[in-house]
A and B are shown apart, each in its own frame.
Chain A
Amino acid sequence: MTGYSKLLMSAAVCLAGAGAEAKTLVYCSEGSPEGFDPAPYTAGTTFDASSRPIYNRLVEFEKGTTNVVPGLAESWEVSEDGLQYTFRLRPGVTFHTTDWFTPTREMTADDVIFSFERQRDAANPWNQYTAGISYEYFNSMDMGSLIESIEKVDDLTVRFNLTRPEAPFLANLAMDFASIMSKEYADQLEAEGRMSDLNQQPVGTGPFQLVAYQQDAVIRYSSNPTYWNGQQPIDDLVFAITTDPAVRLQKLQAGECHIMPYPAPADIEAIRADESLTLMEQPGLNVAYLAYNTQVPPFDNPQVRRALNMAMNKQAIIDAVFQGTGETAKNPIPPTMWSYSEETQDDAYDPEAARQMLEEAGVTDLSMKVWAMPVQRPYMPNARRTAELIQEDFAAIGVDVEIVSYEWGEYLERSSAEDRDGAVILGWTGDNGDPDNFLGVLLSCAGVGEANRAQWCNEEFSDLINQAKATADQEERAELYRQAQAIFKEEAPWATIAHSTVFMPMSNRVQGYIMSPLGSHHFEGVDIAE
């Protein structure tokens, strides 16, 4: 039965009011996917529609946590020196049978090798299957230089040889870009001369398979009848693309959808008050910060940075900008992340002491720029308002602040420059739940001129980060990261502002939904009551 006819039939059954009604879960998603091949993209909206329902990875993040658990690999072994990862694949896994593909074999090591080689090897025919494609996540996680080779040991065993020991490697393999695709399907597309369809007509092993995508309107999935991890409680999954948060909420309240992401902060109270809705919430795996340029005087002096941090009334920002949907941050990593240092003492809000510290540092008549992002991000609802509050706080200790802003792309570029003038409001949402994804990317010496907006290179800190990255034992790593957080607090390259709360409003009928700390949206195992 084709996807169309299957859905037509379920719709007909619904309308006829017959006994065996198809169970459909409708998710009001916030935007259109860029494509259905997750590897070339970096946006969560795209992953929610592609890698998460359609594909699996060798390892997966356990539901509701950032722990790495078996996925398409049943088990794995890491060699003593940390250079070899050998994965034992799950037998009997089949790819989707769709209108555009019927598999003739089960998943093997060939599929795994194909999924990585196309991103790794520029000479692979699939590397540029449409012109101008690039694999930014694979690249930015440094997988190209990390993986030396991938070998097929047998049909169900595959080995990754690394160039250096790297503890976050497993977590990287649970990320969306590492989704496992069918080599058999790719070969078929190549033979038929329609390689670019890989991005429009996906074939995976995941809990749902794509039925149809009506551009910018609706994505329809049906549950995968041969899913290795069991049959789904719902028959159909539908994404109704609704960009405006107020309209999403209206749709949810009107019963046109059952669950939605990213409500507007101003609507939270109304959602709580609505008895037909459930509001799930969770601290987001994110941080919003103000990064000083530690290479430009007087901000090269930690005492000046700490004085400014003490002048900032973070609670006022949480109240006014986050409208209570967040908490003040004392560490650069969020509290839900392992290795978060509870011992850190946050700088007290004390303008008087701050003024004194500035004087001691010999800084008078300081004027500075504060950069406010022009866009709303999950970690920062309104950077302009935040900058204005910071301006008032700093004015109270005699520091004159000028607020500047640029178009988003330009903002990102200019804020990376080592000679940048001023402190930048920015933030980060974790990719894989590994502390290195925050501390290494955002604060190590290697990130200066790129993601390290404080342009902060502290040898001692960077050594700890590198050491942790090469250490396999998680408890040992956690200790190293805690030491690194202590140095961070002492040196204060940032003012850590907030960790925002993520909300997920849904109908009371939705059952079994689990929020992901990584901010992704999964519908495997979710049910809807009659």
Chain B
Amino acid sequence: MIRFILGKLLYLVPTFIGVTIVAFGFVRVLPGDPVLLMAGERGITPERYQQLMQQLGYDQPVWRQYLEFLGRLFQGDLGESLVTKSPVLSEFLTLFPATVELALCAILLATLIGIPAGVLAAVKRGSWFDQVSMGTALIGYSMPIFWWGLLLIILFSGVLGWTPVSGRISLLFFFPEVTGFMLIDSLLSGQDGAFGSAVAHLILPTIVLATIPLAVIARQTRSAMLEVLGEDYVRTARAKGLPWRRVVGIHALRNAMIPVVTTIGLQIGVLMAGAILTETIFSWPGIGKWMVDSIFRRDYPAVQGGLLMVAAIVMAVNLIVDLLYGLINPRIRHV
């Protein structure tokens, strides 16, 4: 098992170096640069342009900039945002809990609904439930997030008035940030109604962000279940007279879970992508919205630092999933 873990870790090193190159290169490949965007319609003289590029260190050859970036990276320094002049790492860490909170709620919702729905659809294959739930999953999977979010806001916040429109908590509540997780901080604040307000603000963004993973998990669970239900041992278990519920719940589901766990792990990347749009619609102060703003401003340090952090987190999550997978299924360890 230790060799398996070490092997996986070793595999990450070249991947991480590749990610630094992509993160560094991505924003520089985009046309335009921060100085031109700052100057705007007014334009800028070539002399002043040179002066500013020099001040920012962007007159250096790209390979040298990259090496400097790597050098600082190994000291844990992601540089400072060109726009806000604050350290990129501290901005990222300030905003990251909001994204994590939303992503966790979304994956939780997707799992809690997706797995039972998938199992039920597999068991009642061909029934109206199967057809409706899988049809809905297909719609959910193809739903444009932006449009879906706006639709929910207009319906539930605008017409029905059941949920708040956007933000993380009512503006009435104001307390110092402790963990950055609003659900926890609102409880810690001890203010009446703060936790309820935080939950209410989470509902719509959670639904929007969970939609695609929910669809994927439900479909994956259904197909994995169908496969397992056709296996000999399931038939044997039934033939031995085990209750159907026990066959499905214990014998089939456990084996069907292996590909489903992998799918859930892979959804972390999807969640990060979905967070960009979801956060923008719901004015959710997380890293998705921050990354979009940084890209538009060509804030090189913020974009490369943010990309790197997100990539590192996705890699770490995938590593954990791989390890979990090894635990669930011993055959994997030897591959």
Using a CB–CB cutoff of 8 Å, the interface residues on chain A facing chain B are 4, 7-8, 11-12, 14-15, 24, 26, 31-32, 34-35, 40, 42, 130-134, 136, 139-140, 196, 199-200, 212, 214-218, 220, 238, 240-244, 246-247, 250-251, 253-254, 256, 406-410, 412-413, 416, 426-428, 441, 447, 449-451
Q: Indicate if the CB atoms of A132 and B43 lie closer than 8 Å.
A: no
Q: Indicate if the CB atoms of A246 and B150 lie closer than 8 Å.
A: yes
Q: Indicate if the CB atoms of A140 and B165 lie closer than 8 Å.
A: no
Q: When chains A and B are docked, how far (Å) is the Cα of A446 from the Cα of B68?
A: 39
Q: Indicate if the CB atoms of A409 and B167 lie closer than 8 Å.
A: no
Any A CB within 8 A of the CB of B37:
yes
Q: Indicate if the CB atoms of A241 and B40 lie closer than 8 Å.
A: no
> Contact mask B185-204 → A, CB, 8 Å, 1/0?
00000011100000000000
Q: When chains A and B are docked, how far (Å) is the Cα of A227 from the Cα of B84?
A: 28
Count of chain A to chain B residue pairs whose CB atoms are closer than 8 Å in the complex: 153
Q: When chains A and B are docked, how far (Å) is the Cα of A407 from the Cα of B91?
A: 27
Smallest Cβ-Cβ distance to B164: which chain A residue = A256
Query: How far apart are B292's CB and chain A's nearest CB, in angstroms?
Result: 9
Q: Indicate if the CB atoms of B165 and A251 lie closer than 8 Å.
A: yes
Q: When chains A and B are docked, how far (Å) is the Cα of A238 from the Cα of B169?
A: 13
> Contact mask B288-306 → A, CB, 8 Å, 1/0?
0110010000100000000
Smallest Cβ-Cβ distance to B174: which chain A residue = A7
Any A CB within 8 A of the CB of B168:
yes
Q: Indicate if the CB atoms of A242 and B283 lie closer than 8 Å.
A: yes
Q: When chains A and B are docked, how far (Å) is the Cα of A449 from the Cα of B168?
A: 47
CB-CB nearest 9 A-B residue pairs: A409-B32, A217-B285, A216-B285, A450-B43, A409-B36, A407-B31, A130-B85, A410-B31, A242-B283
Cβ-neighbour of A250 out of B45, B157, B173 (below 8 A): B157
Q: When chains A and B are docked, how far (Å) is the Cα of A451 from the Cα of B41?
A: 7
Known A-B contacts A139-B48, A409-B37; the reply to A220 vs B157 at CB < 8 A is: no
Q: Indicate if the CB atoms of A426 and B41 lie closer than 8 Å.
A: yes
Smallest Cβ-Cβ distance to A35: which chain B residue = B84
Q: When chains A and B are docked, how far (Å) is the Cα of A241 from the Cα of B57?
A: 32
Q: Indicate if the CB atoms of B80 and A130 lie closer than 8 Å.
A: yes
Query: How far apart are B70's CB and chain A's nearest CB, in angstroms?
Result: 19
With A196-B85, A215-B95, A256-B165 already in contact, 6 other A-B pairs whose C-beta atoms are closer than 8 Å:
A4-B176, A12-B191, A217-B285, A242-B167, A441-B42, A451-B42
Q: When chains A and B are docked, how far (Å) is the Cα of A483 from the Cα of B23?
A: 54
Q: Indicate if the CB atoms of A243 and B161 lie closer than 8 Å.
A: no
Q: When chains A and B are docked, how far (Å) is the Cα of A443 from the Cα of B69?
A: 42
Any A CB within 8 A of the CB of B88:
no
Query: Interface size on B (CB < 8 Å)?
Result: 59
Any A CB within 8 A of the CB of B38:
yes
Any A CB within 8 A of the CB of B256:
no
Q: When chains A and B are docked, how far (Å) is the Cα of A140 from the Cα of B171?
A: 39
Contacts of A24 in B (CB 8 A): 171
Q: When chains A and B are docked, how far (Å) is the Cα of A19 from the Cα of B97?
A: 37
Any A CB within 8 A of the CB of B83:
yes
Q: When chains A and B are docked, how far (Å) is the Cα of A432 from the Cα of B32?
A: 28
Any A CB within 8 A of the CB of B52:
yes
Smallest Cβ-Cβ distance to A251: which chain B residue = B165
Contacts of A31 in B (CB 8 A): 293
Q: When chains A and B are docked, how far (Å) is the Cα of A361 from the Cα of B97?
A: 66
Known A-B contacts A244-B281, A254-B164; the reply to A11 vs B173 at CB < 8 A is: yes
Cβ-neighbour of A136 out of B39, B94, B154 (below 8 A): B39
Contacts of B95 in A (CB 8 A): 215-216
Any A CB within 8 A of the CB of B175:
yes
Known A-B contacts A11-B173, A32-B293, A247-B283; the reply to A253 vs B158 at CB < 8 A is: yes
Contacts of B307 in A (CB 8 A): none
Q: Indicate if the CB atoms of B157 and A254 lie closer than 8 Å.
A: yes
Q: When chains A and B are docked, how far (Å) is the Cα of A250 from the Cα of B160?
A: 12
Q: When chains A and B are docked, how far (Å) is the Cα of A215 from the Cα of B285?
A: 7
Q: Indicate if the CB atoms of A250 and B158 lie closer than 8 Å.
A: yes
Any A CB within 8 A of the CB of B9:
no
Smallest Cβ-Cβ distance to A413: which chain B residue = B36
Q: Indicate if the CB atoms of B42 and A140 lie closer than 8 Å.
A: yes
Q: Indicate if the CB atoms of A14 and B172 lie closer than 8 Å.
A: yes
Any A CB within 8 A of the CB of B24:
no
Contacts of B30 in A (CB 8 A): 407
Contacts of B85 in A (CB 8 A): 35, 40, 130-133, 196, 199
Cβ-neighbour of A247 out of B82, B166, B192, B193 (below 8 A): B166
Q: When chains A and B are docked, how far (Å) is the Cα of A199 from the Cα of B81?
A: 13
Q: When chains A and B are docked, how far (Å) is the Cα of A253 from the Cα of B158?
A: 7
Cβ-neighbour of A11 out of B37, B40, B56, B174 (below 8 A): B174
Q: When chains A and B are docked, how far (Å) is the Cα of A238 from the Cα of B57?
A: 37
Q: Indicate if the CB atoms of B290 and A216 lie closer than 8 Å.
A: yes
Q: Indicate if the CB atoms of A243 and B82 lie closer than 8 Å.
A: no
Q: When chains A and B are docked, how far (Å) is the Cα of A428 from the Cα of B85?
A: 27
Q: Indicate if the CB atoms of B55 and A132 lie closer than 8 Å.
A: yes
Q: Indicate if the CB atoms of B166 and A251 lie closer than 8 Å.
A: yes
Q: When chains A and B are docked, how far (Å) is the Cα of A285 from the Cα of B292?
A: 29
Q: When chains A and B are docked, how far (Å) is the Cα of A60 from the Cα of B283?
A: 33
Q: Indicate if the CB atoms of B175 and A8 lie closer than 8 Å.
A: yes
Smallest Cβ-Cβ distance to B56: which chain A residue = A132
Most buried by A among B56, B84, B175: B84
Q: When chains A and B are docked, how far (Å) is the Cα of A88 from the Cα of B154?
A: 54
Any A CB within 8 A of the CB of B33:
yes
Contacts of A253 in B (CB 8 A): 158
Contacts of B59 in A (CB 8 A): none
Contacts of B80 in A (CB 8 A): 130-132
Known A-B contacts A240-B283, A243-B289; the reply to A34 vs B45 at CB < 8 A is: no
Q: Indicate if the CB atoms of B282 and A247 lie closer than 8 Å.
A: yes
Q: Indicate if the CB atoms of A215 and B94 lie closer than 8 Å.
A: yes
Q: When chains A and B are docked, how far (Å) is the Cα of A200 from the Cα of B280?
A: 24
Any A CB within 8 A of the CB of B142:
no
Known A-B contacts A244-B281, A450-B42; the reply to A11 vs B94 at CB < 8 A is: no
Q: Indicate if the CB atoms of B150 and A247 lie closer than 8 Å.
A: yes
Query: How far apart are B40's CB and chain A's nearest CB, in angstroms?
Result: 6
Query: How far apart are A240's CB and chain B's nearest CB, in angstroms?
Result: 6
Q: When chains A and B are docked, how far (Å) is the Cα of A449 from the Cα of B46?
A: 9
Any A CB within 8 A of the CB of B153:
yes
Contacts of A12 in B (CB 8 A): 191
Contacts of A212 in B (CB 8 A): 174
Q: Indicate if the CB atoms of A412 and B171 lie closer than 8 Å.
A: no
Q: When chains A and B are docked, how far (Å) is the Cα of A472 from the Cα of B182?
A: 57
Q: Indicate if the CB atoms of A134 and B172 lie closer than 8 Å.
A: no
Contacts of A134 in B (CB 8 A): 52, 55
Q: Indicate if the CB atoms of B165 and A11 lie closer than 8 Å.
A: no
Q: When chains A and B are docked, how far (Å) is the Cα of A133 from the Cα of B56?
A: 9
Within 8 A of A (CB), among B123-162: 150, 153-154, 157-158, 161
